[in-house]
Structure 1
Amino acid sequence: MSFEEAVTIALCALATILTRAVPFLVFSGRKPTPPYVRYLGDALPAAIFAMLVVYCLKDVAWLAAPYGLPELLGMAATAALHLWLRQFLLSIAGGTGFYMLLVQFVFK
């Protein structure tokens, strides 16, 4: 491993540790969390999921076969799994797996 690679890995590790530790240092348990930070904690997860859905569907050819059917079925499977199990990771993994099976074996 070269010196540049070692420095790059060390800087990436340091940046990751800092992004994890800074919120705990800035917002300690001694004083209440500011309202805008609580608002961001409530609003951002839904906004990020909405952005991911738009990003994933932006290149779908809705007017050509298979007309976005694998994507719609994958989203339906993800939603159904989440309504049934209430587990984000299982819902996402199950929906993704179902979508991959569709595009690999059904909608070739």
Structure 2
Amino acid sequence: MVKWYAIAVMAIVTYLIRLAPFVLFRKGKKTPKWVAYMGSVLPPAVMGMLIIYSLKSVNISAIDEVIPVATAITITTVLHLWKRNNLVSILSGTAVYMMLIQI
């Protein structure tokens, strides 16, 4: 059974984590350079890590595994370069991949 104090501690920690940016970066203060830098380099780095993690188990000698993955990656890349919308490109690539592995 979960104790009530464990839930209270988790709630307080969650609240403090969500409050921290508003306290640390008050309105009117300039955003620190390191925060702006991290905001510009982390999204591409995370996407690169996700791509590598997704491709690590693909058997490149099995054509039936390569075609859906390559097609989904191509569609995701083209849509992202065209629309510049992460949600549209990722959801479209995922939908195409799921359809292709079911066929």
Q: What is the match of residue 77 of structure 1?
A: 75
How far apart are the structure 1 equivalents of 2:10 and 2:56? Answer: 31
Alignment of 1:1-108 (within 5 A): 2=1, 4=2, 11-66=9-64, 68-105=66-103
How far apart are the structure 1 equivalents of 2:3 and 2:87? Answer: 33
User: Once superposed, which parts of structure 1, at least 4 consecutive aligned residues long, lie more than 6 Å away?
Assistant: none
How far apart are the structure 2 equivalents of 1:9 and 1:81? Answer: 42
Q: What is the TM-score normalised by the length of structure 1?
A: 0.79
What is the letter of the counterpart of residue 81 of structure 1?
Answer: L
Q: How many positions carry a matched residue from both structures?
A: 103
- Matched-pair identity in %: 40
Q: What is the TM-score normalised by the length of structure 2?
A: 0.82
Structure 1 residue 88 displacement after superposition: 1.2
Higher mean Cα deviation, 61-70 or 84-93? 61-70
Unmatched 5+ residue regions in structure 2? none
- Deviations along 1:37-87, one digit per CA (max 9) or x if unpaired, are 111011101111111111111111012232522111001111122233322
